[in-house]
Structure 1
Amino acid sequence: MQQPEPTPLWELPEPEPVKPVSPARAGRGKDAGKGTSTGRGRATGKGGAGKGRAAAAKGKPEPAEHDPVARVVVDVPLAHLDRTFDYRVPATMAERAVPGARVRVRFAGQLVDGFVAERAATTEHKGTLAFLDRVTSPEPVMGPALATLCRTVADRYGGTLIDVLRLAIPPRHAKAEAEEPRRPAPVPERPDAAGWTRYPRGESFLGAVAAGRQANAVWQALPGEDWPVRLAELAATVASTGRGAVLVVPDHRDLDRLHAACATVVGADGVVSLTAGLGPAERYRRWLAVSRGAVRVVVGTRAAMFAPVADPGLFVVWDDGDDLHLDPHAPYPHVRDVLIQRAHAAQVPMVVAGFARTAEAQLLLESGWAHPVLAGRTELRARAPRVTPVGEDFDVARDEAARAARLPAVAFEAARAGLAAGAPVLVQVPRRGYVPGLACGHCRTPARCRRCAGPLLLPGGAEGGVPRPPSCRWCGVADANFRCQACGSARLRALVVGAKRTAEELGRAFAGVPVRTSGANEVLDAVPDTPALVVTTPGAEPVARGGYGAALLLDGWALLGRQDLRAAEETLRRWMAAAALVRPGSDGGRVIVGADASLSAVQALVRWDPGWHAELELAERTELGFPPAVRMASVEGTPEAVTGVLDDLRLPGSGEVLGPVPLGEIDDEGRAERERALVRVARGDGQALAVAMRAAAVRRDARKATEPIRMQLDPLALI
């Protein structure tokens, strides 16, 4: 296998020369180029750039005495304008137009926002430069380190700098900015991290973090591990040396636990949480506290991956396989990759942590960039629950229906034992709702809506004492008189059973036992340590004080059978996250898995060895040519747009185009409204692919293409 570069430096060269076309000229004709772009990244002062300013009525402004040129990143989302533009700095703005400040400039005849990248004494432009219109805020929000990081991320994903800056810098809130700056938090003492002694390399890794050495690690947490406390100990160790730490988790429930742990170990004033869900004032207030160096420890969701912590000493991503770590906005960066770039640039430790292990984390280990931090088998056996797959030979011999039953006898026994021990029992169901899939009870043809041909479901519940009829999942129209289009039968059967129906059935099977549900619109954070059945969807499992007595992982086929490259990896990750909440096997903790014991994901769970499964996944993907062994890009849009981009791509020698293939419905002529193509290159040519994608976007913008298109590097979903 070709070894990839684990921490590449992505240096994007200038795109090939194109005929200079400014936004104004592209939309307004031959005179629009005046006062905008010269094609060399400079803004002229002729035409529209000199009109409409307040200075027109008060006389010509004088340029600043020192460094009168400001190089500005303008907020214009066009790939061929992804560079800085020179403007003159008026003397009245000389002290406010500092590097990193927000400004307003006239560009293409319009006032647009921008950031001052740097101040200079001279310019390469031979004509007259336009003046800055005004300084929106002198706060240096785009510091040198953040600007370099955003440029690196843009180059890695073939995007533009301004797109990354929108993700990295929150919108300004003037009132929050005018408030008195937050006082710097005191330096905490180094904590007693005895919990890391359970891992053979834990103490040495902690020492390397304290010493500031670049010790990159993939940490596999023990089942039942209080991982927020372990991560808080790492952060406090770094903060005790006067440096900063950034810790990113997938969702707000994990964030609440981590923030509480860090506040206990570091101190409430020494940690701040950043999420996109905060209000504009509070989010900007907290971001400013980090930017100004008042807070050393930052925890958050993916919005915190760009947090401008001063003097960073540690970067951590928890559960990197969760798809919430992928930002849905262009250029679609992933938290793990962004933090790796930051750790490499700052030469500080990076931790990829979780109960399971992804193929990307395994690649970091096999490339030598990171080292594993995991417990020994003796410690693991003492902490792990007993895992039993449904359909084992012993169970089949005792109960012939065990292989086909959704809840065989062994599952009921485990649930009864857990409840008898006074503990709650976790039931994980892959599907939400009541009965999310229906089929004809006679011929098994999927039930479809007569109005839009969408799939039918049973919503559950009753109206006026009458059970609610089947309804369409797409249009919501009820169908009380269903007739199969294939055989005419009126009978229906369930294809899959959702969490609501499962909770209803378990409530009847375990009379007198409380049944709680977690998922969809109501997610529980924690449940008490009392007998109860807790029915959840994957990812919504609440924490039980003292641990669950048992966990029933139902309908494993629904997770493993998904048409997704990462189906087995994702299934194991969800199973291990649930099983880690169960008491150790020595205390009676049991996990029942509704899947065949011969499957690799099931075997990895039984042995509690996600590293072995990650090795298999990476080896298979390497053999078949799938990420992370290679780098891929997806091009999605109308057939004309996809064809145009593919024709423009100039791929390296290892480049290969897969597709395009239609997405969604196909008309009578065999055409689809949208198509998708995948582009694959050897991992060593990953940077060349990013350059090619960006160059194609530049040429597309330069010729004013209007068809919508989505171009993404390293997409999670390939099928």
Structure 2
Amino acid sequence: MLFDAPPQPVARVCVDSPLPHLDRLFDYRIPDEMVRQLAVGCRVKVRFAGRLVSGFVVELGTSTDFAGKLHPIEKLVSAEPVLDRHVAGLARAVADRYAGNLSDVLRLAVPPRQAKVEKDAPRERCGPVAAPPRAAWRRYEHGEAFLTALAEGKSPRAVWDVLPGEEWPKRLAEAAAEAAAANRGALLIMPDQRDLDRLDAALTYVLGPDRHVCLSAAQGPAKRYRAFLAARRGAVSVVAGTRAAMFAPVPNLGLVAIWDDGDDSHAEPHAPYPHAREVLLTRSAHSDCAALVAGYVRTVQGQLLIESRWATPIAAPRDTLRSAVPRVVPVGDEADLRADPDSGAARLPTVAWQAAAAALRAETPVLVQTPRRGYLPAVACRRCRTKAHCPHCHGPLGLPSSTRPPQCRWCGQAAEDYRCGECGDTGLRSLIVGAARTAEELGRAFTGVAVHASSGDKILDTVEPGPSIVVATPGAEPAVEGGYGAVLLLDAWALMNRADLRAEEETLRRWSMAAALARPASAGGTVVAVADGGLPVVQALMRWDPDWFAGRELAARAELRFPPAIRMASLTGEPAAIADLMATARPPDTIETLGPVPLDDNTERLLVRVPRRDGPSLAKALHDASAARSLKKKPGTVRVQIDPRELL
């Protein structure tokens, strides 16, 4: 009498390989000694093409479509299931969205293993969280309703326009506490470590100690992995972090939130180049959880979420807004030129000097934002004004300080015996003034006043109240209790004249981040923008109306067919490789190509775009074409980026 053989347990493994044609799950036989230990999410070693490679168990089953004999799993690296089922599904969706490989996304999602940390005693599960007060959210239309929906276990989606002077870390902590009080998890993403530290303190204050964890690359491997395991094991339900935490395994996720989604730090520089905002929005859809996009300035992508009715705006009424914003004064219009003919050429016009002096007399600090760090980042010949170049590599020269010789910004060599190649003169003049030189000039102008510099590797978190001047680059502005009496925004041309589709949007974002640190106009707070008041970006700042500016930008992008109104892909590589990829691909009929344009002697870039509805089809076509070229071992590589941050 014959009996059927018992079903053989099978593990479906994602192998760690960068090759596009291997972007799928492979079946492996589970050895008898591993059956009781192996689980979905475990790290394993498998034999692949004759080599031992790492992988994650993504699925378990009892059957396979493979006709041949299955190879066994060679080694169970760890019985700790570090890959959550929901995160695995999210990773697949993100890979498809960005025409990438699942293994590349999993490399971003799961931190490297720390065996010693896995052996530590598990962290105790935190107790229940009390619902927070909602008084501060009542300043915003739909603010309290958003928290009420969280408390009821619903999944609201909103774009939050934050008021100047708002304690936004505390408000985000309150939203997380509302989700936790409803027995759901929360994931909050910050652009940098400074903002994460502020949110960490706010979460500790609102939730209580040891009720959340922070995840960031700055923590170090062991501390980061310990926090990751605490979330994965369900010890905590609230996770805060930088871009590295966007895939954090939060149990029963109820809220995802991102602060300042326009910051470039949210864009992942490694393949497949996902953006934290898009990952969180995808996660919101997959997990049916609430989503909150917050910032002082509404981005064009945030405006699209509102106009498409995917999200609801949370904004303060105009009366509340007017009581919170500082007075914004532009410089450079006709009235200023009639009153002070030299103001158009001055780097710090009379209006700015007067605002700074008034703030110092009132014993309040002054913030000066300048977009360039260093001393004199670019210099030219004093006589003929030819830009100074390095005699060794022909890179641009700059002055690191008033006492040091010119130094190349490329190779770092000092040009002690600089002589102009055009006229032979040895003198230099400034082309661009950096933060250090600005601080030096202000120190001489306002004698007896302390001058602080915050930029580069020396960033101040806070400054003491009282009369002082703080010179900072964008993103490095320190907070001060009570706010700044005056904020001066210098060198507008350096921000607005960049060859970038987002130049004006980024200018408004950086200005608003600094202006939000000023006191309200009722308390004497003044912001001076050294730019023409007729420019749309200056008008948006003066009226504190970033929503109008975002709507204007989105309409222009739609008319010009640029993201986010459409989906665009950037293909970068050798000309022959790009041509072969496009010949292999089967894109939608709505595709339109721009270029190619040369980047250097061997590389060019081609832009392709389609309507948003055809975005998934375009990503799949490009990924399938890359896989076909990889399978045939075609020469040349092509980097594929979907909706790249930089288009120009």
**TM tier, smaller:** over 0.9
**Does structure 2 conserve the Cα–Cα contact (< 8 Å) formed by 1:216 and 1:369?**
yes
User: Aligned AA for 1:81?
Assistant: L
Is 1:493 matched up with 2:429?
yes
- SS of aligned partner of 1:651: coil
> Corresponding residue for 1:5?
none
Identity rate, percent:
55
**CA offset digits 1:248-299 (Å, max 9, x no partner):** 0100000000010011101121111000222221111110110111111111
Aligned to 1:33: none
Matched, 1:654 2:590: yes
2:514 maps to amino acid: A
1:629 equivalent to 2:565? Answer: yes
2:540 maps to which residue? 604
Is the counterpart of residue 707 in structure 1 residue 636 in structure 2? Answer: yes
The more displaced of 183-192 and 115-124 is: 115-124
Once the 2 structures are TM-superposed, how far is the Cα of residue 654 of structure 1 from its aligned partner?
Answer: 1.6
Establish whether residue 190 from structure 1 lines up as the match of residue 131 from structure 2: yes
Match of 1:515 among 444, 448, 451: 451
Q: Which residue of 2 aligns with 1:685?
A: 614
> What is residue 207 of structure 2 aligned with on the other side?
266
Structure 1 partner of 2:106: 165
Distance 2:530 2:447 in 1: 23
Pairwise CA distance, 1:490: 4.0
1:256 counterpart (183, 189, 197): 197
**Which amino acid counterpart does residue 269 of structure 1 have in structure 2?**
D
Find the aligned partners of 2:551 and 2:569 in 1 and give their Cα distance.
Answer: 24
Residue by residue over 1:132-154, the C-alpha shift from the partner in whole angstroms, topping out at 9 and shown as x without a partner, is: 11211111112211111000001
Q: In terms of mean alpha carbon deviation, does 146-155 or 399-408 score higher?
A: 399-408
Alpha-carbon deviation of 1:627?
Answer: 0.5
Partner of residue 45, structure 1: none
Contact kept in structure 2, 1:213 and 1:348, CA below 8 Å: yes
| Separation in structure 1 between the aligned mates of residue 294 and residue 540 of structure 2, nearest angstrom | 18
Residue 367 of structure 1: CA displacement?
0.3
Q: Who is 2:62 aligned against?
A: 121
Mark the runs of 5 or more structure 1 residues left unpaired by the alignment.
1-63, 463-467, 665-671
Quote the Cα distance in structure 1 between the aligned partners of 2:299 and 2:130: 34
2:86 is the alignment partner of 1:150: no
Confirm whether residue 718 of structure 1 aligns to residue 642 of structure 2: no
Instruction: State the alpha-carbon separation in 2 of the partners of residues 509 and 446 from structure 1.
Output: 28
Name the structure 1 match of 2:343.
402
Query: Residue type of the partner of 1:577?
Result: M
| Residue deviations 1:297-351 (CA, integer Å, cap 9, x gap) | 1110011110110001111010000010001111111011000011111222101
Taking the TM superposition and a 5 Å limit, the aligned residue runs for 1:437-448 are 437-448=378-389
- 1: CA distance, partners of 2:8 / 2:350: 79
Label 1:484 to 1:649 Cα distance change in 2 as closer, same or farther (>3 A): farther
Offset of 1:200 from its aligned partner?
2.1
State the partner residue of 1:245: 186
Amino acid at match of 2:552: L
Q: Does 1:384 align with 2:320?
A: no
Q: Deviations over 1:523-561 (max 9, x none)?
A: 111111121111011011111111111111000011000
Q: Which amino acid aligns with 2:364?
A: A
Q: CA deviation at 1:706?
A: 4.6
C-alpha separation in 1, matches of 2:412 and 2:56: 47
> Once the 2 structures are TM-superposed, how far is the Cα of residue 450 of structure 1 from its aligned partner?
2.8
User: What's 1:137 paired with?
Assistant: 78
Q: Is the 8 A contact 1:97 1:103 kept in 2?
A: no
Deviation at 1:212, TM superposition (A): 2.1
Residue 230 (structure 2) pairs with residue 230 (structure 1): no
- Alpha carbon RMSD of aligned pairs, Å? 1.5
Distance 1:705 1:276 in 2: 36
Instruction: State the Cα distance separating 1:489 from its structure 2 match.
Output: 4.3
Question: More displaced, 307-316 or 66-75?
Answer: 66-75
Equivalent residue number for residue 624 of structure 2: 695
Asked if 2 retains the 8 angstrom alpha-carbon contact of 1:65 and 1:91, the reply is no
d(CA) in 2 for partners of 1:471 and 1:643?
42
Distance 2:62 2:517 in 1: 61
| 1:83-127 deviation per Cα after TM superposition (whole angstroms, max 9, x unaligned) | 111111111110111121111111111111111122211222222
Structure 2 Cα separation of the partners of residues 434 and 278 of structure 1:
31
Specify which of 472, 484, 487 is matched with residue 408 of structure 2: 472
Matched-pair contact (CA < 8 Å) for 1:80–1:698: yes
User: TM-score if structure 2 supplies the norm length?
Assistant: 0.97
After TM superposition, the structure 1 stretch with the greater mean CA deviation from structure 2, 639-648 or 79-88, is 639-648
Change beyond 3 A, Cα 1:105–1:406:
same
CA displacement 1:554-600 (0-9 Å, x = unmatched)? 00011000010000000000000000000001111000101111111
Post-superposition shift, 1:183? 0.9
Structure 2 partner of 1:78: 19
CA distance, structure 1, for counterparts of residue 597 and residue 67 of structure 2: 50
Equivalent residue in structure 2 for 1:375, among 309, 313, 316: 316
Match for residue 46 of structure 2 among 90, 105, 127: 105
Q: CA deviation at 1:643?
A: 3.0
Question: How far is 1:635 from its partner?
Answer: 1.3
Following superposition, the deviation at residue 481 of structure 1 comes to: 4.2
Shift of 1:242: 1.0
Greater Cα offset, 696-705 or 169-178 = 696-705
Provide the rounded CA distance (Å) in 2 between the counterparts of 1:512 and 1:641: 63
Instruction: Give the structure 1 partner of residue 605 of structure 2.
Output: 676
Distance in 2 of aligned mates of 1:477 and 1:145: 52
Equivalent in 204, 220, 226 of residue 285 of structure 1: 226
Asked if structure 2 preserves the Cα contact closer than 8 Å seen for 1:104 and 1:133, the reply is yes
SS in 2 for 1:134: strand
The residue correspondences of 1:189-228 to structure 2 (distance < 5 A) are 189-228=130-169
Confirm whether residue 614 of structure 1 aligns to residue 550 of structure 2.
yes
Superposed CA deviations along residues 425-468 of structure 1, whole A, max 9, x for unmatched, are 10101111111112233443322223322112111142xxxxx2
Q: Is the 8 A contact 2:150 2:182 kept in 1?
A: no
Q: Distance in 2 between matches of 1:480 and 1:174?
A: 52
Assess if the C-alpha contact under 8 Å between 2:8 and 2:29 holds in 1.
Answer: no
How does 1:576-587 map onto structure 2 within 5 Å? 576-587=512-523
Partner residue in 1 for 2:479: 543
Native 8 Å contact 1:456 1:473 kept in 2: yes
Segments of structure 2 that go 5 or more residues without pairing to the other structure are none
Residue 47 (structure 1) aligns with:
none
Deviates more, 1:392-401 or 1:300-309: 392-401
Give 1:566's match in structure 2, choosing from 494, 502, 505: 502
CA contact (8 A) 1:320 1:336 kept: yes
SS of residue in 2 equivalent to 1:245? strand
The amino acid of 2:459's aligned partner reads V
Distance 2:7 2:581 in 1: 45
CA apart distance, 1:707: 2.7
Between 204-213 and 293-302, the greater mean CA deviation after superposition: 204-213
2-side partners of 1:437 and 1:483: how far apart? Answer: 15
